[in-house]
Amino acid sequence: MIETDGNFTHNVILFGRLLRGLGLNVNTGRMIDLLSALQFIQIGSKADFYYTARCLLVRRQEEIPLFDEAFNAFWQKPGDRWSAPHREAISERRQKPAFVPPPLKPPSSEMPGNGANRGNTNHGKPIIQVVMTYSERELLRKKDFSECSGEELEAIKGLISNLVWQLGTRRSRRLEPGNGRQLDLRRTLRRNLKYGGEVLEWAYRQPKYKNRPLVIIADISGSMERYTQLLLHFIYSLSEGLEQKVEAFVFSTRLTRISRQLHGRDVERALNQVSLLVPDWAGGTRIGDALKRFNFNWSRRVLGQGAVVLLISDGWDRGSANLLSVEIARLQRSCYRLIWLNPLLGYEEYKPLARGMQAALPYIDDFMPVHNLASLEELAQHLHLIERARGIQRQL
Amino acid sequence: MTMPSVDSIDDLQNALHRLLYIADRGLATSIFLAIKLGRPLFLEGEAGVGKTEVAKVLTEVLHADLIRLQCYEGLDERQAVYEWNYTRQMMHIRLAESRGEKVEEDDLFGPRFLMRRPLLQAIEGSREKPVVLLVDEIDRSDEEFEAYLLEILSDFQITIPEIGTIKAQQPPVVVITSNRTREVHDAIKRRCLYYWIDYPSFERELQIVNAKVPQAPSQLAREVTAFIQEIRRAELFKAPGVAETLDWVAALVALSQEKLEPRIVEETLGVILKYQDDVDKVKSQGIDTLLERVSMVGL
């Protein structure tokens, strides 16, 4: 099985750095070998992973105990966390003083385990605590956002910000030098000047592929309240993580554009700005009205260049279903791909019976869950694979 | 090549008026400043409110040449700035060969083989006349072109590697229009004077109708204008612009109408409304009731 998750890779790299800090000869080449080896093994098996790592990272028999101890401490179960004294205890066994590498990514304040350490700064910066072991992560991945405890939510926020986002491309009308079919006379002539005007080499141009813009329209009404906080984090991570422009809107009874507020390095500050701006948190839901506002005021401005639209809502609509179906049809016509993300889709027994959902279903290109981390990862995968040609499910 | 002097905003507004362009004070002010400060004028607004027209009448006011660049996606240097005339170059090489001469590169990439596209034309300008450069519908172009345009707008010069740098003797008056189908980068807007052209008020629109379609009976002109103003207030996906108003008046004049009648309105609604949803909506409101309200406004 291939574990493509960026966070696991991140952990493996951190682990490598820890080993290097403990004096093992772990270089980048080795780490690359290890990471590519991972795709050949059953990553769920801790033993397999252990031996894979050991055979690649340990060169001498004497290093094995040190490796074992580091491995056990690093890839431990949650709760029993790696601490600075722990690390010192291991490194004491080495003759030369251990070099402790700085973390790859500075631990962000909302990560778990940080709180426990705040009091004792004497032990230096927490380094390993920011990383969760994979079993903990696996549990968290599958857990519905609405059932998470405060601490787990914080952990998930951290994981969300680590997700790698990429959106499918579209063929633009711009041409660039390459192996396309368009003849590039300017370069051809330049290239053949050396032959005295005899054209021996042809130069061509090919279409340039560009990122599709992304538009997110999120429901922040009362029924979505349990998800709102995390979804905003998710939207923030999308708009920060993607290269292209991301336009974001939220609605419950009114539509508010929050794209500009989402800029900036600090997620808490950005979300604060958003909360100041939005007048109707956890209000009633009028999806049809919100979409109408979007269609009338914004669609022409933000849906150009083959945009992909993410509509996040549970489909509980108190407005007119008729209006909703008219407006969502219009929305689908004016974008390249309309993806509806519904947190309720995570429940196995869920059927899209809500009136709003019924009205909208015929006009949705993709209907996907958005209730736990695993579903976000799936979405990331899906966005990446969006085809250059439109999907099949289209309205007449 | 001096520009006819436009000394005040009033001057300009009157001059525009004489050319049948009825400009708001705000618009006249920004046009005036664009000329005086030598800054590009960035015009945004709904379709059909007369953005492009500004450049055209301005050309007449200044007795200038209008150079127009229509933007589209993928518009590149070759179409916007310059291109070498390859066929001619090839032919030149062949002819020289047949005469047994040697072709110099400098000769091959000289002004003789250069095809000047709108931006280069605008920069080179003409000796006698000022130039108005209209960059139309910039929102249809892409980021690459915006970046290129930015370079040109910042110092009004173009560098052609084979020839050198060409600098504008007298910077052109630049008018950039956008329909907002895409947000244009702030860097462009920062260099420009920005003006949002709104739909005109009833009085102003009537003035425009009378100026542009003088043969229209006065009752018809009034009613049409009032009708348009009325349906702009309804929530339409695409409200009719001034261009539609003028088209409609002209159409009704061609049909020899003296005033608006329900039947003829229904038959010609396609002149002003371009979406079926909108047509349905206006019809469902009842053309009769609309006309009733209109007849009261008109008087």
pLDDT digits (tens, 9 = 90+) for B249-276: 999 999 999 988 899 999 999 999 998 8
In the predicted model, is pLDDT for residue A13 greater than 80?
A: yes
Determine the angle formed by the axes of helices B9-18 and B51-61, rounding to 10 degrees. 100
* Minimal C-alpha gap between A197 and chain B (Å): 6
For the ranges A97-111, A243-257, B209-223, the one whose mean pLDDT is highest: B209-223
Average pLDDT of chain A, as a whole number:
76
Please state, for a pLDDT cut of 70, what percent of chain B lies above it: 97
At A125, the pLDDT band (50, 70, 90 cuts) reads very low
Tell if the CB–CB gap between A189 and B89 is shorter than 8 Å.
yes
Amino acid letter, B288: D
Tell if the CB–CB gap between A301 and B180 is shorter than 8 Å.
yes
Q: Looking at residues B12-36, what average pLDDT do you find?
A: 91
Q: Which residue of B has its CA nearest to A208?
A: B74
| pLDDT score of B65 | 92
Instruction: Give yes or no for a contact between A65 and A39, defined as CB atoms under 8 angstroms apart.
Output: no
Q: Which of B84, B97, B182 sits opposite A197 (nearest CB)?
A: B97
pLDDT digits (tens, 9 = 90+) for A295-343: 988 888 888 888 899 999 888 888 888 888 889 998 998 888 898 988 8
Set of chain A residues whose Cβ sits within 8 Å of the Cβ of B86: 185-186, 188-189
Instruction: Give yes or no for a contact between A232 and A282, defined as CB atoms under 8 angstroms apart.
Output: no
At A365, the pLDDT band (50, 70, 90 cuts) reads confident
Tell if the CB–CB gap between B181 and A186 is shorter than 8 Å.
no
| pLDDT score of B58 | 94
| pLDDT score of A135 | 66
| pLDDT score of B248 | 95
| pLDDT score of B67 | 95
Structure tokens at B259: 């005033």
| pLDDT score of A230 | 83
| pLDDT score of A2 | 42
At A215, the pLDDT band (50, 70, 90 cuts) reads very high
Instruction: Give yes or no for a contact between B87 and A183, defined as CB atoms under 8 angstroms apart.
Output: no
Set of chain B residues whose Cβ sits within 8 Å of the Cβ of A189: 84, 86, 89-90
Tell if the CB–CB gap between A197 and B74 is shorter than 8 Å.
no
The residue whose two tokens read 């380094």 is A127
Q: Looking at residues A89-111, what average pLDDT do you find?
A: 41
pLDDT digits (tens, 9 = 90+) for B37-96: 888 999 998 888 999 999 999 999 999 999 999 999 989 888 999 999 988 888 888 888
In the predicted model, is pLDDT for residue A98 greater than 50?
A: no
In the stretch 189-228 of chain B, residues with CB closer than 8 A to chain A read none
Give the alpha-carbon dihedral of B124, B126, B131, B136, to 10 degrees.
-50
At A104, the pLDDT band (50, 70, 90 cuts) reads very low
At A103, the pLDDT band (50, 70, 90 cuts) reads very low
Q: Which of B76, B97, B103 sits opposite A174 (nearest CB)?
A: B76
Q: Which range (A72-81, A235-244, B124-133, B146-155) has the least confidence?
A: A72-81
Closest C-alpha to A294, from A325, A262, A256, A266? A256
Residues A242, A335: Cα–Cα separation, whole Å: 19
Q: What is the pTM of this model?
A: 0.72
**Torsions phi, psi for A66 (to 5 deg):** -60, -45
| pLDDT score of A132 | 57
| pLDDT score of B8 | 85
Q: Which CATH class is domain B9-80+117-197?
A: alpha beta
Q: For A181-247, where are the alpha helices, taking DSSP H only?
A: 185-192, 225-241
Long-range Cβ contact pairs of A20-23 (< 8 A, separation 24 or more): A20/A99, A20/A101, A21/A91, A21/A98, A21/A99, A21/A100, A21/A101, A22/A66, A22/A70, A22/A90, A22/A91, A22/A94, A22/A98, A23/A66, A23/A91, A23/A94, A23/A96, A23/A98
Set of chain B residues whose Cβ sits within 8 Å of the Cβ of A188: 86
Structure tokens at A90: 């291991």
For the ranges A184-193, A200-209, B84-93, B205-214, the one whose mean pLDDT is highest: B205-214
Domain boundaries, chain A: 6-142, 169-211, 214-384
More confident residue, A178 or A131: A178
| pLDDT score of B213 | 93
Whether chain A has a CB inside 8 Å of the CB on B276: the answer is no
Whether chain A has a CB inside 8 Å of the CB on B91: the answer is no
Tell me how crowded residue A134 is: count the other CB atoms within 10 A of its CB: 20
In DSSP terms, which residues pair with B136 in a beta bridge? B70
Q: Which of A173, A185, A304 sits opposite B74 (nearest CB)?
A: A173
Residues B151, B145: Cα–Cα separation, whole Å: 10
More confident residue, A331 or A37: A331
Tell me how crowded residue A160 is: count the other CB atoms within 10 A of its CB: 21
Set of chain B residues whose Cβ sits within 8 Å of the Cβ of A197: 90, 93-94, 97, 103
Kindly state the helix (H) or strand (E) to which residue B87 belongs, with its residue range: helix B86-98
| pLDDT score of B71 | 94
Long-range Cβ contact pairs of B182-185 (< 8 A, separation 24 or more): B182/A301, B182/A302, B182/A304, B182/A305, B182/B139, B182/B140, B183/A245, B183/A301, B183/A302, B184/B42, B184/B138, B184/B139, B184/B146, B185/B143, B185/B146, B185/B150
Instruction: Give yes or no for a contact between A275 and A268, defined as CB atoms under 8 angstroms apart.
Output: no
Tell if the CB–CB gap between A186 and B86 is shorter than 8 Å.
yes
Set of chain A residues whose Cβ sits within 8 Å of the Cβ of B235: 296
Average pLDDT of chain B, as a whole number:
89
Whether chain B has a CB inside 8 Å of the CB on A300: the answer is yes
| pLDDT score of A29 | 76
Cβ burial A248-261 (10 Å sphere, 16+ → b, else e): bbbbbeebbbbbeb
Whether chain B has a CB inside 8 Å of the CB on A202: the answer is no
The residue whose two tokens read 């690093």 is A74
Structure tokens at B273: 């409304």
Tell if the CB–CB gap between B93 and A186 is shorter than 8 Å.
no
The residue whose two tokens read 């003409």 is B126
More confident residue, A264 or A66: A66
Fold of A214-384: Rossmann fold (3.40.50)
The residue whose two tokens read 């098996």 is A45
At B3, the pLDDT band (50, 70, 90 cuts) reads low
Tell if the CB–CB gap between A189 and B86 is shorter than 8 Å.
yes
Alpha carbon separation from A234 to A12, A169, A277, A316, A375 (Å, rounded): 24, 21, 18, 21, 12
More confident residue, B1 or B207: B207
